[in-house]
Amino acid sequence: QVQLVQSGAEVRRPGASVKVSCKASGYTFINYYLHWVRQAPGQGLEWMGIIIPGGGSTSFAQKFQGRITMTRDTSTSTVYMELSGLTSEDTAVYYCARGRQFLTSEYFDYWGQGTLVTVSS
């Protein structure tokens, strides 16, 4: 069965960086795009970016440009999302999600369990 298993909770100081991992299993890793979506406490979902595991290319939401990096390791079927310059507004649960294309837009058919990142001094 398809599974996306994320790394554990993190606590960071303002200004620091955090790197979250997402290990995929149960399907051919390079055949599906992987996205990152975050959710601040009590708030809605926010799309952050996408990585194409086959070639490693990425695309990010404009608000994260310049401080987000996404990489992948095809040998372990794992993708990584690193966010730098953290502020308290980055406190959120971060999800990885597998993308599927339907005609005109992608949807997310499997999600990781989420990783809580807390930014606090």
Partner 1 sequence: QFVLTQPPSVSGAPGQRVTISCTGSSSNIGAGYDVHWYQQLPGTAPKLLIFGNNNRPSGVPDRFSGSKSDTSASLAITGLQAEDEADYYCQSYDSSLSGSKGVFGGGTKLTVL
Residue ranges in contact with partner 1 by CB under 8 A: 35, 37, 44-47, 49-50, 59-62, 65, 95, 97, 99-100, 102-114
Nearer to partner 1 (CB atom), residue 29 or residue 64: 64
Would you call 20 helix, strand, or coil by DSSP? strand
What is the DSSP pairing of strand 10-12 with strand 115-119?
parallel
Q: CA 88 to CA 117: how far, in whole Å?
A: 10
- How large is the greatest C-alpha to C-alpha distance in the chain, in angstroms? 45
**Cβ(95)–Cβ(37) under 8 Å?**
yes
- State the minimum distance, in angstroms, from the CB of residue 102 to partner 1: 4
- State the minimum distance, in angstroms, from the CB of residue 77 to partner 1: 19
Nearer to partner 1 (CB atom), residue 38 or residue 86: 38
Q: Which amino acid is at 80?
A: Y
Nearer to partner 1 (CB atom), residue 86 or residue 97: 97
- State the minimum distance, in angstroms, from the CB of residue 14 to partner 1: 23
- State the minimum distance, in angstroms, from the CB of residue 79 to partner 1: 15
Q: CA 21 to CA 70: how far, in whole Å?
A: 10
